[in-house]
Structure 1
Amino acid sequence: MQGFVVYLLLLMGSIFELSVVKCARSKGSDSGTSTTFDVTKFGAIGNGKTDDAKAFTSAWEAACNKGLGTSKITVPSGKTFLVSAIKFAGPCKSRSITFEILGTIVAVPKQAWGKGGGDGDAWILFHQVQGLSVVGNGKGVFDGQGASWWPRERKNDSPTALRFSHCDNLSVSGLKHMNSQKNHISINGCNHANISNLHITAPGTSPNTDGIDISSSTNLSIQDCVMATGDDCIAINGGTSGVKISRITCGPGHGISIGSLGKNGKHEEVERILVENCTFIKTQNGVRIKSWQDGAVKVSGVKYIGVRGTTVAKDATIDLKCSKTVPCTDIEFSNINIKSVGGHADSAKAKCTNAQGTARSCTPPIHCVKT
């Protein structure tokens, strides 16, 4: 009898242990599952003529609302997807979403604008999506068809091609962006973002086609990108801090800029910006800080290290215009070699207004920063 009791207890223990293991496996599989949503399965045609925005929206809603685990939306290769203005909104139930672009996404022409589901100032908008990755593996293309917009861009009413708004823990990599209507990429109110291996192009004469425009964002890394545009390769605006920019090839374009800041007396801050190991190729400017003199602007902790290349600037290749109300502080230049070309070889110089910092091993000499 005693032996039977022992056997029964052992049997019950084994059953309990097996149940625990099954339960753990069940929970792990629920939280670790990943589901792929192909836009063509939701009706996207990919012939470059039919507007596929509704199919993209349907795929997004399915991925966003999937629940536990992760989701991936894939835009397959070998097809061109015409897409009108569209908004991908969160928050999502999925722990993270990967938007994989292997084909080409092309914007509707200007005359068809306003018929889609966007918010008016962006062609493609991601809003309040946490843990978002937009990847292309070197194959994905965004084509904004900007040429039809540029004649009216002087009015500044053209849309940004790709905007990320309040998307924390963001990753964007391996994509080609071309001919944006205005900015190619805007990052607004995002915390912790990694941007890498992008190829951004637009004619040097195209207006306001910034490569990446940043505002009110923190802790960003932008690296290993090639940008040839009609405006700033990278523009950093107010409320931004903790940005590392490295191994960027820029040109043509207006260089890498902070500002403009403080228009109409506005209070704005930019701090902890590192620009290192970047190359300019015949840019209209080199590096610059732009502040309105009557603005309450605070720019601090900006470092330029190992920046080289050429500009076609007729005046200053390094131009720091800081607020007279609050000078720029802790500005550091180290190992700078930026030369003017195109008939302006003797005009390379640095100009500073109200800038405090240090400079060493710099061409042109930067004597205007003061400690």
Structure 2
Amino acid sequence: MSALRLVILFFSVAAYASALPTNATLDDSCTINTFNDVSSVTSSCTSITLKGITIPAGETLDLSLKSGTTVKITGTIKFDYKTWDGPLMRIKGSKVTVKADSGVQLNGQGEKYWDGQGDKGKTKPKFLKIQTTGGSVIQDLYLLNCPRQCVSINDVDSTTIKGFTIDVSAGDTDDLGHNTDGFDISKATNLVIQDSTIKNQDDCVAINYGSNIKISGLKCSGGHGLSLSVGQSKDDSSTNQVKNVTFSDCEVKKSRNGIHIKTHTDAAAGYIKDVTYKNIKLSDITHYGINVQEDYKDGSSTGSAKGNIPITKLNMNSITGSMTGSSGMDVYILCGSGGCSDWTWSGVSISGNKKSDSCNFSPSGYTCK
């Protein structure tokens, strides 16, 4: 071949390569077709397609992503069974977007784990761990049959989670599903969770530690309601803090509680402040419409409240709905000494209770009855 033809061929190949999208290659190397592709694709690509694959037992689908990466999930993901802690899946990165096509499921096969004992009994993996920052968006994920806690949110800042479906309703059969929290928030700032459906057997949302959190448009059923559970640490008061949180425009039905706020008596000092629940609609609540208690220890109520984690500026606005069953109570408030102050409630109207309210603190605007 002549030198001229070699030069022409070289520049033709270079021109073709430069015309390809930055993430494209001739062998489609930014598509995950098998579990073995995950590590190489996530470490080299910023526009990723995740097809339907099976995750081997005891392995994590680890989407630890380069900054600015977009992941599109186009096929159902199944996680094979093994007794271990998990998580089954992790999403981590800054300025990332993860989105699933309509109808695509992430199947945790929880029915193989459920034994009616939740965190006890056989070891069960947590499902999805989210560790994202920088304006990340995670949307339209469908989590089916979580073995236990569904979405664990930790070390998160400036992230939006929306359009989730979390369906653990099969765990209702024979009361086998337990500790299947929808969203567990253990460390987050500037977090938005919106427009999602959760069917489970524990908290729809549980916030342990965080600030500047907005939760709206949730439809919760079968669980324990919209919750704060503060005081997980016995020696680090900085992690026992929740402030500037808003729950709005949510529905809670067929659940143990509508709204549940609990502090732990054996915890290091902390606080809950500037928390608002507004436009929350309740139906078929079996135990408490609103339950605020400062007497939690070792996973249960003790009846002995402590003000080590004071609750201030707790606002309730337009909390309406109905109780069901034989032991429902509209409002239960148990505060420790100096533990509750500056609460403003308006439009709290819950009907169908079988028991009178029990309150040792009276919010401004609400009379316990």
Q: TM-score range by the shorter chain?
A: 0.7 to 0.9
Q: Give the structure 1 partner of residue 113 of structure 2.
A: 149
Is 2:311–2:340's contact at 8 Å kept on the other side of the alignment? yes
Contact 1:358–1:369 (8 Å) recurs in 2: no
| Whole-angstrom distance in 1 between the partners of 2:346 and 2:188 | 30
Give SS of 2:40's match.
Answer: helix
Letter of the aligned partner of 1:207 in structure 2?
H
Q: Distance in 2 between matches of 1:36 and 1:214?
A: 36
Partner of 1:269: 241
Larger Rg: 1
Residue 336 of structure 1: how far off its partner (Å): 0.7
Q: Bigger CA drift: 277-286 or 355-364?
A: 355-364
Deviates more, 1:96-105 or 1:264-273: 264-273
Alignment check: 8 A CA contact 2:179 2:201 kept: yes
TM (normalized to structure 2)? Answer: 0.76
Cα-Cα RMSD: 3.1
1:329 paired residue number = 312
Letter in 2 for 1:179: N
The equivalent residue for 1:195 is: 161
1:35 equivalent to 2:5? Answer no
Match of 1:307 among 280, 284, 298: 280
Aligned twin of 1:227: 198
Q: Pairwise mapping of residues 128-147 of structure 1 onto structure 2 (< 5 A)?
A: 129-147=93-111
Residue equivalent to 2:302? none
Question: What are the ranges of 5 or more consecutive residues in structure 2 without an aligned counterpart?
Answer: 1-17, 295-305, 351-356, 365-369
Give 1:253's aligned residue. 223
Structure 1 contact 102–141 (Cα < 8 Å) conserved: no
Among 321, 336, 360, the alignment partner of 1:338 is 321
Q: How much has 1:38 moved relative to structure 2?
A: 12
The alpha carbon displacement at 1:343 in A equals 4.0
From 139, 144, 149, the counterpart of 1:183? 149
Distance 1:162 1:90, change over 3 A: closer
Residues 163-172 or 285-294, more deviating: 163-172
Residue 336 of structure 2 corresponds to residue 362 of structure 1: no
Listed one character per residue, the Cα deviations across residues 131-187 of structure 1 (whole Å, up to 9, x for unaligned) are: 111101433311111122222643284222111135443211112111112221111
Identity between Structure 1 and Structure 2 (%): 23
CA separation in 2, counterparts of 1:44 and 1:191?
27
The 1:87–1:176 alpha-carbon spacing in structure 2 relative to 1, beyond 3 Å, is: closer
Task: Tell me the secondary structure at the aligned position of residue 37 of structure 2.
Answer: helix
8 Å Cα contact 1:282/1:310 also seen in 2 = yes
Determine the C-alpha separation between the residues in 1 that align with 2:273 and 2:77. Answer: 39
The residue identity in structure 2 corresponding to 1:178 is: L
User: TM-score, normalized by length of structure 1?
Assistant: 0.76
**Corresponding pairs, count:** 315
1:243 counterpart letter in structure 2 = I
Stretches of structure 1 that go unaligned for 5 or more consecutive residues are 1-28, 46-51, 64-70, 114-119
**Aligned in 2, Cα 1:80/1:303: closer, same or farther, shift over 3 Å?**
same
Aligned equivalents of 2:26, 2:307: Cα separation in 1: 55
8 Å Cα contact 1:110-1:148 kept in structure 2:
no
Q: What do the CA deviations read for 1:95-120 (whole angstroms, capped 9, x no partner)? A: 41111112101101126x6xxxxxx5
**Secondary structure, counterpart of 1:159 in structure 2:** coil
Match of 2:262 in 1: 290
